[in-house]
Amino acid sequence: MAGKSAETLRQVQAQIKDACDLLGLDNNYFEILKQPLRALEVTVPVKMDDGTVRAFTGYRAHHNDVMGPAKGGLRYHPDVDFDEVKTLSMWMTFKCSALGLPYGGAKGGITVNPRELSKDELERLTRAFTRAMSDFIGDDRDIPAGDVGTNAQVMAWIFDEMSKQKGRNMPGVVTGKPVSIGGSLGRTEATGRGVILALREAAKRLGIDTKGATVAIQGYGNVGSHSGLCAEELLGSKVVAVQDHTGGIYNENGLDAKELADYVAKNGGVNGFPGSTKDITRDELFALDVDFLIPAALENQITDENEHLIKAKILVEAANGPTTASASKKLWDRGVFLVPDILANAGGVTVSYFEWVQNLQNFYWSLDEVNSRLERLMVEAFDAIYEQHKELKIDMRTSGYVIAIRRIAEAMKLRGWA
């Protein structure tokens, strides 16, 4: 995994370099942006339920904070390593900037399989990690959020432990909290909703009617399921295929997105869903003659080996880094309109930003206010990236990086960093 993470890091650096060159920036900017400004590795000893002590390794990286406090998720997964955390912190800088949010990028993680820990062990691990990070994170410094393997309960423990450490109530130190203790309405579904808003804008530009259009989704967790639900609700499209870690399902007449979400919540995956007429594999899903393809599971799913299978007109990167740089270029060159992750899945961090603002103001918004502000920011970001892709004749991913880096470079210049 370390090798794979290091390769992804090199790909992101190449993307940053291309955007800096397109902007005609001198090398000073790339020198600063090619790695995180600071990163911390900690050993977290935890007393397990059987009385033994296990030492876990945790990480947090701040890529860049010229635009504001650093922001990014916290991942609990056995494959987490320092390079992965660093790369993910870099994506966050550009995602926040592309959306115009006053944040830099951060990411953190612990190398652990959370499913192997009891709830008490998970709480002790989270609190010990929070204490180890207590001078590194903060509501004016670095604001973690949920990610793969962490959830609203983990965020609640971090909020509580930081409040104890600092002697004041600090709900704004993390986002993705339960609504009853300062979470925002609309945060759970925000990423999937943003994915579908970006898809709607792309379809509009390409003159594709979304009503009755067909959608295939990889992954039906938080992001995949809300993408499916919003595709039905906001676009009138039908989800015909879904694949996840348990299997793949298909129905040409459409799978009911809500029934499927309920089924996955109960059974842990899509396998065996009664509304399916045929089982399919991952690559069979990618090869379907659908209008829209939404990878919403993991990194590096669409590669040089399988990119040629894809027939969809629009590919929306709901996951982070689902398409390798080389496959992404080939898809674009043969006419697949690819909406890049730094735009497509930015709805999550956008509503996290709203949560933080509400916490700092102690003033809470209605669901309608959250959703309409999310829509405004997603549409503005899409417009800016689309217009520039047209003007410079570059793909949407490069355009996203150019927009993001232009803003960051201007801030670095004004603040005298470069």
Q: What is the binding site for ligand NAD (CB under 6 A)?
A: 147-148, 191, 218-224, 243-245, 269, 296-298, 318-320, 345, 348
CB-wise, 160 or 341, nearer to ligand NAD?
341
CB-wise, 28 or 151, nearer to ligand NAD?
151
Place of tokens 């916490």: 359
At its nearest, how many Å lie between ligand NAD and the CB of residue 53?
29
Q: CA 78, CA 87: separation in Å to the nearest integer?
A: 17
Q: CA 224, CA 245: separation in Å to the nearest integer?
A: 13
At its nearest, how many Å lie between ligand NAD and the CB of residue 221?
2
3-state SS track over the chain: CHHHHHHHHHHHHHHHHHHHHHCCCCHHHHHHHCCCCEEEEEEEEEECCCCCEEEEEEEEEEEECCCCCEEEEEEEECCCCHHHHHHHHHHHHHHHHHCCCCCEEEEEEEECCHHHCCHHHHHHHHHHHHHHCCCCCECCCEEEEECCCCCHHHHHHHHHHHHHHHCCCCHHHCECCCHHHCCCCCHHHHHHHHHHHHHHHHHHHHCCCCCCCEEEEECCCHHHHHHHHHHHHHHCCEEEEEEECCEEEECCCCCCHHHHHHHHHHHCCCCCCCCCCEECCHHHHHCCCCCEEEECCCCCCECCCCHHHCCCCEEECCCCCCECHHHHHHHHHCCCEEECHHHHCCHHHHHHHHHHHHHHHCCCCCHHHHHHHHHHHHHHHHHHHHHHHHHHCCCHHHHHHHHHHHHHHHHHHHCCCC
CB-wise, 25 or 87, nearer to ligand NAD?
87
At its nearest, how many Å lie between ligand NAD and the CB of residue 175?
10
- The residue at minimum Cβ distance from ligand NAD is 221
CB-wise, 68 or 269, nearer to ligand NAD?
269
CB-wise, 74 or 318, nearer to ligand NAD?
318
At its nearest, how many Å lie between ligand NAD and the CB of residue 70?
16
At its nearest, how many Å lie between ligand NAD and the CB of residue 192?
8
CB-wise, 58 or 347, nearer to ligand NAD?
347
CB-wise, 217 or 411, nearer to ligand NAD?
217
Q: Which residues are catalytic?
A: 107
At its nearest, how many Å lie between ligand NAD and the CB of residue 289?
21
At its nearest, how many Å lie between ligand NAD and the CB of residue 191?
4
**Contacting residues for 13 by C-beta, under 8 A, at least 6 apart:** 34
- The amino acid sitting at 45 is P
Q: CA 285, CA 306: separation in Å to the nearest integer?
A: 11
